[in-house]
């Protein structure tokens, strides 16, 4: 241990300094407790003379076998620095005390927020993307060795003051050769029940794809707003990984995603996210995507969602303040209030539906794509979608063998916006409803 300490002498923090910062490990400074010991908040003087809020993780004195994990965290966090990895401020190994001091993450860990109804879908996407980037950095380093984390879980993804994800807790982590695409380690079972790769538990062979499996469990926790293990159930719902692997996208969306979260989601965003999450839980390790691919897929899911938010903002402005909107409110068409409501309300998002519907109808002969910026008010929507009614009706969908995704989107347009009713006067509408020509 002495030679190791000499190598990292520049990171040593005197025990008395930590005691002063944490009020002698006072209860008023207590943050959390784990199997290793307790964590305390304190103010520490940084290298540039600026005070930094830190979190001091104090190893329990009863943990006699903690030296390897203690040294491993110091070494790994000293060698690997990334905006999505927790920052190590220093350590103390003095008077039988083992303490690691990290930069404080005031918004706690991801698991604290999974069931929060105010935790939005776009927040969840950004946090997952940050964590994915951190893990991708560990798996694809610029040096000769990659890091296998061994304990990826929502409790080990910390959130800073800006809600940026920081991967933490490297006590079980190990180096593996980055020169091999399929580097692996033969080791004893470690990690957390529910998150651990079943292939690893059977073979004791750990690969970077084992980290990917654990990350997939976290993705489903974020999507379903629950923990990976729920003892209140006595069926497959008890284990989130089993539930996810035995459920279709549609079943997950309709049965296991909360109503509030589902209403926020752009359909393509959900589809991208749940697809890559399913791939992470692949039965065989070689079936699972690499972390760089996962980063790209979550980036795409986030772009889809941000596009929806931009459309929502545009529609809100158009429906409330633009000359087009004011002009369109005159006319008394019974559909107008309904379209305006769905343009601005929380139940749905008009522009997102239109954008997605454009993609569905793109290959159709006779479909003329119209820029969404041209649809600045109710009149524009009614005029534009009168041309699309026959292309998204159930008969046309059946004839061309539309995918379930297409059917879902088109049905949503009919159900929510009642596009098939636009462009008809009340008498025509009543007649068509009697003939059953609407959804």
Residue 151 annotated in active site: yes
CA distance 281 to 196: 11
CA angle 278, 279, 280 (to 5 degrees): 90
Q: Measure the CA–CA gap between 267 and 414, rounded to whole angstroms.
A: 16
- C-alpha closest to that of 217 among 304, 296, 168, 157: 157
In whole angstroms, give the CA distance from residue 145 to residue 228: 30
CB 136 within 8 A of CB 83: no
Cβ atoms within 10 Å of 174's Cβ, excluding its own: 17
Q: CA–CA separation, 336 vs 401, rounded Å?
A: 33
Q: Which of 253, 269, 266, 263 is nearest to 301 (CA)?
A: 269
Report the distance separating Cα 158 and Cα 273, nearest Å: 21
* Cβ neighbours of residue 333 closer than 8 Å, sequence gap 6 or more: 378, 382
Q: State how far Cα 353 lies from the chain centre.
A: 22
Residue 43's H or E segment, with its range, is strand 37-45
Helix (H/G/I), strand (E/B), else coil: 136: helix
* H/E run at residue 58: strand 51-59
Non-local CB neighbours of 307 within 8 Å, separated by 6+ positions? 266, 352, 355
Rounded to whole angstroms, the Cα distance separating 389 from 418 reads: 10
The catalytic residue among 28, 111, 116, 151 is: 151
Tokens of 248: 């279709």
d(CA 83, CA 21): 25
- Kindly list the catalytic residues: 151
């Amino acid at each position: 241990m002495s030679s190791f300490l000499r190598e990292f002498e520049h990171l040593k923090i005197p025990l008395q300094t930590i005691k002063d910062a944490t009020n002698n490990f006072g209860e008023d400074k207590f943050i959390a407790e784990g199997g290793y010991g307790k964590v305390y908040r304190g103010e520490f003087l940084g290298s540039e003379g600026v005070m930094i809020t830190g979190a001091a993780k104090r190893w329990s004195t009863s943990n006699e076998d903690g030296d390897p994990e203690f040294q491993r965290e110091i070494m790994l966090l000293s060698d690997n620095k990334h905006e999505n990895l927790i920052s190590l401020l220093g350590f103390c190994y003095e008077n039988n005390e083992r303490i690691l001091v990290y930069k404080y993450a005031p918004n706690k860990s991801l698991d604290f927020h999974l069931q929060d109804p105010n935790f939005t879908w776009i927040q969840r996407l950004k946090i997952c993307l940050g964590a994915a980037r951190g893990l991708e950095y560990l798996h694809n380093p610029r040096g000769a060795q990659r890091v296998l984390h061994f304990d990826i879980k929502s409790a080990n993804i910390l959130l800073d003051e800006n809600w940026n994800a920081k991967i933490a807790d490297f006590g079980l982590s190990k180096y593996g050769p980055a020169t091999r695409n399929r580097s692996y380690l033969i080791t004893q079972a470690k990690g957390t029940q529910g998150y651990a790769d079943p292939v690893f538990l059977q073979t004791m062979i750990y690969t970077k794809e084992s980290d990917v499996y654990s990350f997939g469990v976290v993705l489903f926790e974020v999507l379903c707003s629950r923990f990976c293990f729920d003892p209140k159930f006595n069926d497959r719902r008890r284990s989130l990984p089993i539930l996810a692997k035995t459920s279709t996208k549609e079943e997950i969306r309709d049965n296991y995603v909360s109503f509030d979260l589902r209403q926020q989601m752009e359909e393509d965003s959900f589809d991208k996210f749940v697809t890559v999450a399913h791939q992470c839980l692949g039965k065989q390790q070689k079936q699972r995507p690499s972390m760089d691919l996962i980063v790209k897929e979550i980036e795409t899911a986030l772009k889809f969602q941000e596009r929806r938010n931009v459309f929502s903002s545009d529609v809100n402005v158009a429906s409330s303040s633009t000359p087009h909107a004011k002009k369109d409110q005159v006319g008394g068409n019974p559909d107008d209030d309904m379209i305006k409501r769905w343009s601005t309300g929380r139940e749905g998002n008009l522009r997102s539906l239109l954008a997605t519907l454009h993609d569905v109808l793109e290959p159709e002969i006779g479909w003329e794509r119209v820029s969404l910026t041209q649809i600045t008010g109710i009149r524009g929507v009614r005029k534009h979608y009168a041309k699309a009614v026959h292309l998204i009706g159930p008969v046309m969908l059946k004839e061309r063998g539309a995918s379930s995704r297409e059917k879902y989107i088109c049905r949503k347009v009919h159900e929510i916006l009642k596009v098939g009713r636009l462009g008809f006067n009340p008498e025509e509408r009543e007649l068509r409803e009697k003939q059953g020509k609407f959804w």
